[in-house]
Amino acid sequence: MTKNLETVEQASVIAKQTMEQVSGAMDTYFDFLQKTISSSPSGGTEFGEKLKGVAEQNISAARDYINKLSQSKDLQDMMRIQSEFMQKQLSQFGEQAKTLSDAYTKAAADAAKTTIFKTSP
């Protein structure tokens, strides 16, 4: 019985170490992704900046989701975390779509004004 208990404890330690390694790798990946998006040129436009902001916001949300999911206690907890994440993302998607749409419309209107002034006699 003692040998079985030791084996279970060893498996638990190994599982915990593996989870810590996976968590570290995911953090490294999200850090890299965040830095890549932040350093990408936006073209100096409001639309480009908003697009970068949305990407950074979505990366942050995904990172938080993975961290919460990795700390779930059971299947019910996992389902709750998944449901909360999906609801939040759907809500944010609507807000992000409106923000990007407004910025795109403004950029298109500005481009049209510039084009009209350049082609006028």
Q: pLDDT by residue (tens digit) across 91-120?
A: 999 999 999 999 889 888 887 887 766 655
**Residue 88 pLDDT exceeds 90:** yes
Dihedral in degrees, nearest 10, Cα atoms 70, 72, 76, 78: -20
**pLDDT value of position 117:** 62
The confidence band for 121, taking pLDDT boundaries of 50, 70 and 90, is low
Answer yes or no: is pLDDT of 53 > 60.
Answer: yes
pLDDT of residue 101: 92
> Contact 35/44 with Cβ under 8 angstroms?
no
- Asked if 33 and 56 touch (Cβ cutoff 8 Å), the reply is no
> Does residue 70 have a pLDDT over 60?
yes
More confident site: 94 or 29: 94
Highest mean pLDDT: which range of 2-11, 25-34, 72-81: 72-81
Whether 96 and 57 have beta carbons less than 8 Å apart is answered as yes
